[in-house]
Chains A and B, each alone.
Chain A
Amino acid sequence: MSVKESSAAVFSDSPGKIALRNLRKDKRSIISLTILGIIVVLSLCAPLYSGFIAHTQPFESSLDATITLHGKSIPVLQPSTTGLGLGVTPIGPTWNISHYFLGADSQGRDVAARLLYGGRSTLFIGVSAGLLCIFVSLVIGIVAGYRKGWVDAVLSRILDIIWAFPVYLLAISLSVVLLTSGLTLLFIHIGPGSFALPILIIGVVYIPYVARPIRAQVLALREREFVRAAIGTGAKHSTIIFREILPNVMPSVLVFIPIIVSLSMLTESALSFLSIGVQPPAASWGTIINDGLGLLYTRPMVGIAPGLMIVLTAAALNLYGDAVRDALDPKSRSRGD
Chain B
Amino acid sequence: MVIALATLTGTSASQAAAGAPLAPFDPSHAGGTVTLVAAAAAGTLDPKVNYTGQYWELYQATYDGLLTFAYGDGVTTFNVVPDLAVALPTISNGGKTLTFKLRSGIKFSNGQPVTVADVKASFERIFKVSSPTAGTFYNGIVGADACLKTPATCNLDKGVVVDPKTNSVVINLVAPDDAILSKLAVPHAVINPASSPVKDAGTTPIPTTGAYMFKSYDPNKELVMVRNPYFKEWNHQAQPQGYPDQIIYKFGITPTDQVTEVENNQANWAYDPIPADRLNEIGTKYASQAHVNALTAMWYMPMNVNLAPFNNVKARQAVNYAIDRAAMVKIFGGSQLAAPVCSFLPPNFPGHIDYCGYTKGATPDKPATAWGAPDLALAKQLVKESGTAGQAVGIVVSDDDVNKQMGVYLQSVLNSIGYKATVKPISGNIQFTYIQNTKNKVQISVTQWYQDYPAASDFLNVLLSCASFTPNSDSSINMAGYCNKAIDAKMQAAIAKGVTDPVSANKMWGAIDEEIMKDAPVAVAFTPKQLDFISSGTKNYHFSLQYKMFVDQLQVK
Contact = CB atoms under 8 A, between A and B. Distances in A.
A33 interface: no
Contacts of A83: 280, 283-285, 287
A174 B407 CA distance: 23
A61 B531 contact: no
A241 to B, nearest CB: 44
A108 to B, nearest CB: 8
B11 interface: yes
Interface stretch (A84-92, A163-171, A208-216): A84-92
A26 B100 CA distance: 92
A223 interface: no
A61 to B, nearest CB: 4
A63 B324 CA distance: 9
Interface string A258-278: 000000000000000001000
Nearest to A106: B405
Given A82-B284, A83-B284, A297-B277, A88 B334 contact: yes
A45 interface: no
B327 A86 contact: no
B504 interface: no
B499 interface: no
Contacts of A280: 407-408, 411, 423
Interface in B522-542: 531
A314 to B, nearest CB: 27
Contact of B276 (A85, A180, A275, A294): A294
Contact of A279 (B256, B335, B337, B422): B422
Interface in B67-89: none
A274 to B, nearest CB: 10
Given A60-B412, A87-B283, A89-B280, A79 B425 contact: no
Contact of B337 (A60, A86, A107): A86
B388 interface: no
A86 B336 contact: yes
Nearest to A60: B412
Interface in B281-297: 281-285, 287, 290, 292
A192 B280 CA distance: 37
A47 B278 CA distance: 34
Given A61-B327, A80-B334, A87 B276 contact: yes
B275 interface: yes
A82 B416 contact: no
Contacts of B285: 83
A204 to B, nearest CB: 23
Nearest to B10: A84
Interface string A132-163: 00000000000000000000000000000000
A63 B409 contact: yes
Contacts of A107: 331, 405, 408-409, 412
B413 A80 contact: no
Contact of B334 (A61, A87, A192): A87
B334 A79 contact: yes
A79 B256 CA distance: 20
Interface string B325-344: 01100110111110000000
B101 to A, nearest CB: 47
Given A107-B405, A180-B424, A294-B275, 19 more contacts: A60-B412, A61-B412, A63-B327, A63-B409, A77-B330, A79-B330, A80-B280, A80-B283, A84-B290, A86-B280, A86-B283, A87-B276, A88-B276, A106-B276, A275-B399, A280-B408, A296-B277, A297-B256, A299-B277
Interface of A: 59-61, 63-64, 77, 79-80, 82-89, 106-107, 180, 192-193, 275, 279-281, 293-299
4 closest Cβ pairs, A-B complex:
A87-B279, A86-B283, A83-B284, A84-B283
12 contacts: A64-B326, A64-B327, A80-B284, A83-B287, A84-B12, A86-B334, A87-B279, A87-B283, A107-B331, A107-B409, A281-B415, A294-B277
